[in-house]
């Protein structure tokens, strides 16, 4: 799954005060307008700029490509239990067949058998597998998830988010994104 980013829209990568992105998936990006507004409100430092300039009758500046918050934003310790975060934990693939299409979620122990809607009992599943399993227990259906469901940490979700970079990464962002690239000696 890829997040579409248009290079023509000149988005700014937003870093926390510790120079790490606020989020990897979706990547923490602001529109150029929001980035400039934050500069004028003295909420960010400009780290890198595009070659493109914006002007008013009395002012001209280059559009920021990377900004860093002046105040540290404490990341959440426990990620919210949302459908999106379940998909991200499971890397956007059905835990029964590996498909990336038509995802929904499945209760490993069905609610009809007392299963709860928790991190430890919900997995990403494609609609065909979800329908095939129905309200059967895994052993009855002969369907077992590829990985046991668990409550992820924020770090787990960040690590998985790095596997799904946007379709566009500006060169000025690469030093702040720890994608799987070799470091220069």
Kindly report, residue by residue over 93-120, the tens digit of the pLDDT: 999 999 999 999 999 999 999 999 999 9
pLDDT band of 180, cuts 50, 70, 90:
very low
Fold annotation for 81-151: DNA Binding (I), subunit A (1.10.30)
pTM reported for the whole predicted model = 0.74
Q: Where do the domains of the chain lie? A: 10-74+165-176, 81-151
Say if CB 15 and CB 67 are below 8 A apart.
yes
Question: What whole-number percentage of the chain has pLDDT above 90?
Answer: 69
What is residue 13's three-state secondary structure?
strand
């Amino acid at each position: 799954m890829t997040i579409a980013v248009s290079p023509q829209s000149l988005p700014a990568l937003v870093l926390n005060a510790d120079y790490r992105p606020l989020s990897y998936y979706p990547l923490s990006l602001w529109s150029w307008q929001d980035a400039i507004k934050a500069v004028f409100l003295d909420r960010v430092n400009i780290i890198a700029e595009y070659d493109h300039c914006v002007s008013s009758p009395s002012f001209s500046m280059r559009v920021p490509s990377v900004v860093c918050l002046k105040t540290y934003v404490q990341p959440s310790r426990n990620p919210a239990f949302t459908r999106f975060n379940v998909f991200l934990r499971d890397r956007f693939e059905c835990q029964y067949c590996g498909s990336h299409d038509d995802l929904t979620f499945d209760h490993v122990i069905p609610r009809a058998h007392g299963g709860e809607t928790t991190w430890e009992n919900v997995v990403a599943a494609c609609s065909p597998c979800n329908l095939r399993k129905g309200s059967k227990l895994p052993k009855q259906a002969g369907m077992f998830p590829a990985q046991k469901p668990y409550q992820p940490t924020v770090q787990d979700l960040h690590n998985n988010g790095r596997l799904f970079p946007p379709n566009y990464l500006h060169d000025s962002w690469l030093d702040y994104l720890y994608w799987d690239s070799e470091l220069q000696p």
